[in-house]
Amino acid sequence: MEESIITTDAPAKNAAQWTDEGNRLYENRSYEEALEAFEQAIQLDPGNIVAQCGKASSLNCLGRYEQALTAYTCAILLDPNYAYAYSSMGMTLFALGRYSEAVDAFQQATQLEPNNALTYCSLGNALSEAKRYEEAILAYMRSLQLEPYSATTYSNLGLLLEAVQNYPEALKAYDHAIQIEPYKAIHHYNKSLLLERIKAKEEAKQV
């Protein structure tokens, strides 16, 4: 297939074409160029929620987090029922260490998409960092109800259970992760560290 060549007399792109180009550039990790394309799409169609979220994602990848949050807010104003915008905003807030705000964003997303396992896992992560451990466990368990073969969720649940010193259940969570992804060293490592901790605790009791 021949490469298309842009010339000065080429017809101007419409908003949908700029959005498609932005998505292509984003997938190729050309984030600055993707951002420019999404900006062009938004100028032509201010109500283009896909371009607005693309802009936010590009800003995220460029480390311009506060600007990304503003773009996600614009997307939510365009469509308050757009779960993706809430969950993506939650990821940005989580990266900034603003865990309580991330919890709120993920909870909004789960209300709009109650069957999204990944969002429940993300909610569990944010709740855990916010030290709302019981709620975090419930979020992880809901995620596993929706997606029973997520080693990542089992691993995160194991880490949380270990943190609250529920070692038997933490071991079970790590074992589930190992069964699903036996080739992942991190799951075996987490389990071995916990076994060492249990052993040290038992030895301390005998002193």
What domains are defined for the chain? 14-80 (1.25.40.10)
Cα–Cα distance, 42 to 59 (Å, whole number): 15
Average pLDDT over residues 43-69: 95
How many C-beta atoms lie closer than 10 Å to residue 132's C-beta?
17
Cα–Cα distance, 142 to 117 (Å, whole number): 7
Cα–Cα distance, 126 to 140 (Å, whole number): 11
Cα–Cα distance, 17 to 195 (Å, whole number): 55
Mean pLDDT, rounded, of the chain: 92
| Site of tokens 């709302």 | 132
Average pLDDT over residues 139-145: 98
> Tens digit of pLDDT for each residue in 75-118?
999 999 999 999 999 999 999 999 999 999 999 999 999 999 99
The helix (H) or strand (E) run that includes residue 2 is none
pLDDT surpasses 90 at 178: yes
Exposure string (b/e) for 147-168, b if CB count within 10 Å is 16 or more? beebbbbbbbbbbbbbeeebbe
Cα–Cα distance, 114 to 99 (Å, whole number): 21
The helix (H) or strand (E) run that includes residue 139 is helix 133-146
Q: With beta carbons less than 8 A apart as the criterion, state whether 135 and 123 touch.
A: no
